[in-house]
């Protein structure tokens, strides 16, 4: 008989099962928790938030977090994990290494899912498939390779032997990624040995091997390096292909930092071509891309490149803003693996010191630089940073000299130059030698200056391409030393030698903004020339034209198909004056001066030429009766301040378009007239003719303000010079006439900014009146070619402009920053190049425009040069004149659509239909807008337009 089971026992049995199950679950959870805790200990040193997601989050949450981190930060975390795997494997802690490999697999999955990069998964699969012994051998080899001395501590031969040996080891283990890495380093070793064929061979091999592993970070990096080398090897087309392929990989994989790096390389290439506008826009794109795809502080590197770019141009207000921006980012990013070594923070300090020097705060700048110099030796930098303190010493010496402290500048330069040659780079030593020579000249110590110049000659050997400005300064300083000793013959010889070298260099470089800035940097030589001929007014007058003709030599080197014909045409043309010898220097300038006087064919014409020296402004006044030189009574600084404040007031449109100029503006315009204009012009009743003219050749900041707005009256009411004289500006005294045109007039209208242009629709308004302006002009000339909308492209413009008798452009002229002027065109869809939607100085100078009688630039600020500490940048009008155009109608500041339509069309009507000469036609067009119901209108509406001619 079976005994019944008590109900109590029936309850206990399931309870025991539940308890056992709970224990198992708790045990599993405990093991999992212990595993997580152990993993966290193994991952110590990584950001806690990253570790939490890596260890605890599900796959989708971790992928989202990986996307928010950005590629570079995730790659840095992956490298950290794999370093720990390496260490644990070497220590024999196989289980711990396997555990971390599991987490590395999670990271690899995120790379594949978020960034479409499977190379990390391939690495994990490769390691898992290896037998244990083979695996241990692999980890040992990788570790030994990492731990081997760095290349900068080895001779090139030792470095090559190391990389060759490990390449064989990795090949025997089937480790393709590390074979590629060893080949990359072998390429570097061959470069150090000067074997450039082998360098190229191994760099191409490394690139190919990385690409076989997929579209990965190292493939992108190596393509970038290969592109840079192709540029050095003189193969820019291959360079561009490598950069574009690298960008494609970077954008596809959301590698913001890598994309920015390639854009930076592209920018550096355009910078070396002198196309500073393109370089600046590429740097801005690099910053934006790094910020967008790699959140954190990865844009710091590219902000610093932008800072360096603006510092070299002397745009200190921009540099100051960038320093503030970088400081904030550096504080936020101290813990990120960004290569943010202290040397990079010290570089920011140096930029801040340069800003302080530029503002005259030498005490604060000295304090910063002393702190940098104390810290620098403690960093124990590798040999590649050998020039770091050279640069800092140069910045300090140059800043002290600019702030009127030549004695301190000389001491700083000599202190650095007294160190052993092995501790300095010849390039920086040469630049410091020039600073020392300048300081000694300022102090009147000619023997010290002579010695510094001898040191420069020694250091400059082999560095000539990097020292173009300094080589010009060297000849100028030799001449200054000779003048100080009373040896005018030797001074003339130095000036002649300097001019000869200057011409040779000008003919060998591209016609770009960079080249123009280089020539303005040679101002010491220009001043020496005038000191040598100071006693001869007509020679000084001619010397100014000789100097300005140097700009015509730019572009002799062919740059692409577009500029080929023009380059040959300019090269073949006889220059205005041959390179002078010391014996013929004064005679040559006299000949040019007399030639200019002969061009003043009408007795009512007066021509004034200005030269801005250090503290003085010189003026030559030429009439049919001769040339007279005067030194103006107002100092350079007084006139500069007056020009700056007056231009600001003139370019501000009043609310009422008929409003007259206020008393303060009229007072300034009257003061400028008294300071700058000769008596022949101030006496408004001196000419009996109906339309006498004033021709003006300006210099430096004087080119930023319209002389025709100066108040020449002596009564209460405003009497602008334009009421009494036609006013035009003169750039050259060319003898060769404009060639006969065989084409049709060309009108280009682009009122809608291109979406492909940086800052396009976001910052540039639509030019509502541009289309009407173009249609009105086309009605005056039915034979003209009208390019508008999608046809307003650079390619369509280039097809017609070399044969056009005139070119009229109604489009945005962008000056942002203001020393980089360009015209915004339509962007063709099939052209990915960074300069496809803009027309800049280089594009204009590549054309032969000698058949073009007039160019009208109906855009904002199309004719005003930008004056910065780094030199004077050319205006777009200058570029058209130097390309051969007979005259350019341009603007000094931003213009309103209605004013552009009225003045532009009135000019064309008078010039083309009424057959007026271009100077008188523009004067009449502006006079028609001069008076309103309240008298003479505010000059903002009519004084912005001006005309510059290429010959007297």
pLDDT score recorded for residue 93: 83
pLDDT score recorded for residue 707: 95
For residue 312, what are its two tokens? 């070299």
Q: Nearest CA to 619 among 687, 735, 698, 700?
A: 698
∠694-695-697 over CA atoms, to 5°? 140
Whether 607 has a pLDDT exceeding 80, the answer reads yes
**pLDDT tens across 504-513, in order?**
888 888 888 8
pLDDT score recorded for residue 379: 74
Q: Nearest CA to 738 among 848, 865, 852, 593?
A: 852
Side-chain half-sphere of 672: how many Cα atoms within 13 Å?
25
Which H/E stretch holds residue 256?
helix 256-272
pLDDT score recorded for residue 763: 53
Q: How would residue 87 be classed by pLDDT, with cut points 50, 70 and 90?
A: confident
* Residue with the two structure tokens 């809608």: 752
Whether 149 has a pLDDT exceeding 80, the answer reads yes
Mean pLDDT of the chain: 82
pLDDT score recorded for residue 628: 94
Which H/E stretch holds residue 730?
strand 726-730
∠745-751-756 over CA atoms, to 5°? 110
Side-chain half-sphere of 530: how many Cα atoms within 13 Å?
21
∠769-775-781 over CA atoms, to 5°? 140
Q: How would residue 711 be classed by pLDDT, with cut points 50, 70 and 90?
A: very high
Q: Nearest CA to 685 among 708, 719, 727?
A: 719
Whether 564 has a pLDDT exceeding 60, the answer reads no
Range name among 163-167, 609-613, 919-923 with the lowest pLDDT average: 919-923
**pLDDT tens across 104-120, in order?**
888 889 888 998 888 88
Whether 754 has a pLDDT exceeding 90, the answer reads no
Q: In terms of DSSP bridges, do strands 887-891 and 945-949 run parallel, antiparallel, or are they unpaired?
A: antiparallel
197 vs 377: which has the higher pLDDT: 197
The model scores a pTM over 0.75: yes
Q: Nearest CA to 856 among 927, 793, 806?
A: 806
* Residue with the two structure tokens 């015509």: 552
**pLDDT tens across 288-310, in order?**
999 888 876 788 889 988 988 88
Range name among 165-174, 320-329, 352-361, 370-379 with the lowest pLDDT average: 370-379
Range name among 121-125, 534-538, 564-568, 700-704 with the lowest pLDDT average: 564-568
**pLDDT tens across 457-495, in order?**
999 888 887 888 888 899 999 999 999 999 988 999 999
∠929-931-936 over CA atoms, to 5°? 120
Instruction: Say whether 402 sits in a helix, a strand or coil.
Output: helix
Contact residues for 674 (Cβ-Cβ < 8 A; gap 6+): 682
Q: How many residues does the chain have?
A: 952
Please state whether 380 falls in left (phi above 0), alpha (psi between -120 and 50) or beta. Answer: left
Q: How would residue 338 be classed by pLDDT, with cut points 50, 70 and 90?
A: very low
């Amino acid at each position: 008989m079976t005994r019944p089971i008590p109900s109590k026992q029936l309850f206990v049995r399931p309870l025991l099962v539940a308890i056992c199950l709970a224990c198992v679950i708790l045990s599993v959870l405990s093991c999992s928790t212990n595993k997580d805790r152990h993993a966290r200990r193994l991952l110590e040193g990584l950001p806690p938030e990253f570790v939490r997601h890596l260890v605890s989050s599900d796959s989708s949450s971790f992928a989202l977090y990986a996307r928010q981190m950005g590629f570079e930060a995730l790659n840095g975390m992956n490298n950290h994990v794999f370093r720990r795997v390496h260490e644990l494997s070497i220590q024999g802690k196989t289980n711990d290494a396997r555990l971390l490999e599991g987490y590395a697999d999670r990271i690899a999955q995120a790379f594949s899912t978020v960034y479409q990069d499977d190379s990390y998964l391939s690495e994990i699969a490769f390691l898992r498939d290896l037998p244990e012994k083979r695996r241990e051998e692999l980890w040992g080899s990788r570790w030994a390779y990492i731990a081997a001395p760095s290349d900068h501590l080895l001779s090139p031969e030792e470095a090559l032997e190391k990389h060759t040996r490990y390449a064989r080891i990795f090949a025997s283990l089937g480790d393709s990624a590390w074979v590629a890495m060893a080949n990359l380093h072998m390429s570097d070793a061959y470069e150090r040995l000067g074997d450039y064929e082998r360098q190229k061979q191994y760099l191409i091999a490394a690139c190919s091997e990385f690409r076989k592993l997929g579209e990965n970070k190292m493939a992108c990096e190596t393509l970038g390096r290969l592109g840079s080398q192709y540029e050095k090897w003189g193969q820019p087309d291959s360079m561009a292909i490598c950069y574009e392929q690298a960008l494609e990989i970077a954008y596809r994989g959301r590698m913001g930092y890598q994309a920015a790096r390639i854009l930076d390389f592209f920018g550096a290439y355009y910078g070396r071509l002198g196309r500073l506008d393109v370089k600046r826009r590429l740097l801005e794109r690099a910053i934006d891309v790094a910020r967008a795809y790699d959140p954190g502080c990865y844009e710091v590197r590219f902000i610093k490149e932008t800072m360096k770019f603006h510092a070299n141009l002397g745009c200190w207000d921009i540099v100051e803003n960038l320093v503030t921006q970088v400081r904030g980012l550096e504080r936020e990013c101290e813990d990120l693996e960004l290569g943010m070594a202290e040397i990079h923070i010290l570089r920011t300090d140096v930029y801040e010191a340069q800003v302080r020097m530029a503002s005259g705060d030498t005490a604060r700048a000295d304090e910063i630089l002393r702190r940098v110099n104390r810290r620098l030796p403690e960093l124990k930098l590798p040999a590649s940073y050998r020039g770091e303190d050279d640069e800092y010493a140069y910045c300090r010496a140059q800043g002290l000299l600019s702030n009127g402290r030549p004695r301190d500048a000389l001491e700083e330069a000599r202190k650095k130059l007294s160190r052993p040659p092995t501790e300095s780079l010849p390039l920086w030593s040469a630049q410091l030698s020039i600073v020392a020579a300048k300081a000694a000249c300022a102090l009147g110590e000619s023997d010290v200056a002579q010695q510094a110049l001898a040191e420069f000659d020694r250091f400059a050997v082999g560095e000539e391409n990097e020292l173009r400005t300094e080589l010009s300064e060297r000849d100028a300083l030799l001449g200054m030393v000779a003048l100080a000793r009373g040896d005018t013959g030797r001074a003339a010889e130095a000036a002649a030698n300097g001019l000869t070298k200057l011409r040779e260099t000008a003919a060998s470089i591209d016609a770009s903004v960079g080249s123009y800035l280089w020539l303005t940097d040679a101002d010491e030589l220009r001043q020496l020339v005038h000191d040598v001929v100071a006693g001869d007014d007509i020679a000084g007058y001619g010397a100014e034209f000789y100097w300005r003709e140097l700009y015509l030599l730019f572009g002799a080197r062919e740059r692409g198909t577009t500029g080929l014909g023009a380059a040959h045409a300019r090269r073949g043309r006889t220059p205005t004056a041959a390179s002078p010898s010391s014996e013929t220097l004064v005679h040559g300038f006299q000949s040019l001066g007399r030639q200019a006087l002969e061009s003043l064919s009408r007795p009512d014409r007066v021509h004034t030429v200005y030269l801005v020296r250090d503290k003085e402004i010189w003026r030559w006044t030429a009439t049919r009766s001769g040339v007279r030189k005067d030194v103006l009574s107002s100092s350079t600084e007084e006139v500069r301040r007056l020009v700056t404040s007056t231009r600001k007031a003139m370019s501000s449109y009043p609310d009422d378009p008929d409003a007259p100029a206020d008393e303060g503006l009229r007072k300034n315009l009257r003061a400028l007239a008294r300071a700058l204009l000769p008596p022949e012009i101030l006496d408004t009743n001196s000419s009996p003719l109906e339309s006498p003219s004033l021709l003006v050749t300006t210099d430096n900041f004087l080119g930023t303000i319209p002389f025709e707005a100066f108040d020449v009256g002596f009564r209460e009411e405003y009497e602008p010079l334009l009421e009494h004289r036609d006013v035009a500006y003169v750039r050259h005294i060319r003898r060769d006439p404009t060639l006969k045109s065989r084409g049709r007039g060309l009108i280009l209208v682009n009122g809608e900014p291109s979406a492909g242009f940086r800052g396009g629709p976001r910052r540039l308004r639509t030019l509502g009146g541009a289309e009407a302006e173009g249609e009105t002009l086309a009605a005056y000339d039915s034979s003209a070619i009208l390019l508008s909308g999608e046809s307003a492209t650079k390619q369509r413009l280039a097809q017609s402009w070399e044969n056009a008798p005139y070119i009229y452009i109604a489009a945005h002229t962008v000056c942002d920053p203001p020393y980089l002027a360009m015209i915004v065109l339509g962007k063709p869809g099939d052209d990915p190049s960074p300069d496809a939607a803009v027309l800049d100085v280089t594009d204009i100078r590549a054309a032969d425009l000698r058949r073009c009688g007039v160019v009208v630039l109906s855009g904002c600020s199309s004719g005003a040069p930008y004056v910065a500490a780094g030199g004077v940048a050319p205006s777009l009008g200058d570029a058209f004149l130097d390309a051969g155009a007979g005259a350019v109608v341009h603007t000094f500041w931003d213009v309103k659509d209605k004013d552009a339509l009225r003045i532009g069309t009135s000019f064309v009507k008078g010039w083309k239909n009424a057959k007026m000469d271009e100077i008188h036609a523009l004067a009449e067009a502006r006079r028609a807008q001069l008076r309103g119901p309240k008298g003479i209108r505010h000059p903002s509406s009519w004084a912005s337009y001006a005309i510059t001619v290429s010959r007297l």
